[in-house]
Amino acid sequence: MVIRKRRSTSALSLSFATVVTLAALPLSGPVFGQGTGQRSPTSSQAALPGPSGDLLAKLEGVYKDIHANPELSMQERRTAGIAANWLREQGYEVTEGLGGTGVVGLLRNGEGATVLLRADMDALPMSENTGLPYASTKTGTDPSSGRKTGIAHSCGHDMHVTWLMGATQILAANKDKWRGTVIAVFQPGEETGEGARAMVEDGLTKRFPKPTVALASHVLPFPADKAFIRPGLMLSQSDSLRVTLFGRGGHGSSPESTTDPVVMAAATVMRLQTVVSREIGMTDNAVVSVGSVQAGSSANIIPNESVLQLNIRTFNDQVRGQVLSSIKRIVNGEATTSGAPKPPEITTLAGEFPLTVNDEDATRKVADALRQRLGSERVGPASPASASEDFTVIPRAWGDVPSVYWIVGGVEPQKYAEAERTGSLNKLPSNHSPEFAPVINPTLRTGIEGMLAAAGVWLTPPGAK
């Protein structure tokens, strides 16, 4: 995976608003093993069957239903109910309402490792424009702004839910092929960074056994029959800020009697574009995005204030501190230059997006298992991405649980190949685009197979010592 480094943008400041392109990837090496031939299976993951045609057809219906009925962060009651009922039908011990709308399923199957599998459930406050027959037409109120908004699964979390449902069904139906414990976590509020923390604060680590490993994956605009993984640093950390700029309102015909917060906001947005391009060295990485600008209610009224919402992505604390300091300096400086009647307010928005760092040893095991199950030609190495996640909040809450996070493609392979051939990969809809929706087949199968491969590394075959 190669990331197109975006020095300064005005894109959505949401957790997977990143533009990526796929280069020619070496499919061998120290992480993935040498050579390109598929090796003989050596772990219990090989004994677990893949999804049948009947199961895939059923899950396709579930996916379309969830896609057409998205729910905003921490409001995922309908989706949570679907997941909880599914788990009960498969014989899992089910806990609902953890951290608000979170669902946890527990399947005990003898002595062995405890594997945590996680899927996020929430959708985005935006309208969908895919033209699909099952496209969302839902609307709601965005809690962060109080404004009416469209709601869409434009980040792919509906696919994640369906992957985990498929994996849990196969694990439950094949208990004779493995030993251990499975914890299935359907997590709310990933987009806002609230969900993982809310589940932990509601007793996740106290009410459920400590996992041996925690596993999760995400769909991105790559070929739908491929997976990508790397040990170590995988995703950036993220901060979100709300900046309120204060002016002095008045009639639009007499701007000289006002202090215009709209002009102040415009100057601030433009100056913020220089933080990365002029203050961060070329060997470092950062993204500063202004995702929301709100001011005024009428064309002929200069308002009293304007509000910006910013998102920052960084890969280390030193750069993070530098970026945050620069933002504060610029915001206060533009307000002073504009003659603002009082200093701006800078508020940290709720949410926790730490660095996503894959455990070295656990990732090598998962990468090897993916190669065994999918074939080495379908598994490639990833580079660190400027996207962010709250997944690792869960394993870190136990203190020392290794975690692994990987990527599954969601673009029809031939369509991707044609875009690559014509040099138009950047025109493929990416996550958080109104046009983004993964192709159901083979994305659905690939995601389920990936979860089964990863989980099977730790689930002991019957009779193994």
Task: Identify the residue with better confidence: 351 or 55.
Answer: 55
Place 39 in a pLDDT band, splitting at 50, 70 and 90.
Answer: very low
* Upper half-sphere CA count for residue 233 (Cβ side, 13 Å): 12
**Does residue 14 register a pLDDT over 60?**
no
**pLDDT digit string (tens) for 332-349?**
999 999 999 999 999 999
Q: What is the reported pTM?
A: 0.87
Percent of the chain whose pLDDT exceeds 70: 89
Strands 114-120 and 180-187 turn out to be parallel
- CATH architecture type of domain 17-235+355-456: 3-Layer(aba) Sandwich (3.40)
Strand ordering across the sheet containing 305-314: 286-295, 305-314, 237-246, 345-348
* ω into 255 cis (within 30 of 0): no
pLDDT at residue 6, rounded to an integer: 34
Q: What would the mean pLDDT of 146-151 be, rounded to a whole number?
A: 94
**pLDDT digit string (tens) for 248-272?**
999 999 999 999 999 999 999 999 9
Percent helix / strand / coil, the chain, rounded to 5: 35, 25, 40
Q: What are phi and psi of 150, to 5 degrees?
A: -70, 165
Do 188 and 99 form a contact (C-beta atoms < 8 A)?
yes
**Does residue 138 register a pLDDT over 80?**
yes
CATH 3.30.70.360 residue ranges of the chain are 237-348
Helix 440-456 × helix 157-173 angle, to 10°: 50
Do 191 and 73 form a contact (C-beta atoms < 8 A)?
yes
Q: What would the mean pLDDT of 420-441 be, rounded to a whole number?
A: 97
CATH 3.40.630.10 residue ranges of the chain are 17-235+355-456
Task: Identify the residue with better confidence: 22 or 106.
Answer: 106
**Does residue 319 register a pLDDT over 60?**
yes
- CATH architecture type of domain 237-348: 2-Layer Sandwich (3.30)
pLDDT at residue 27, rounded to an integer: 31
Q: Which two tokens stand for residue 450?
A: 């990936």
343: closest CA among 240, 244, 241?
244
Do 257 and 250 form a contact (C-beta atoms < 8 A)?
yes
Q: Which two tokens stand for residue 151?
A: 């709601």
Q: What would the mean pLDDT of 21-39 be, rounded to a whole number?
A: 35
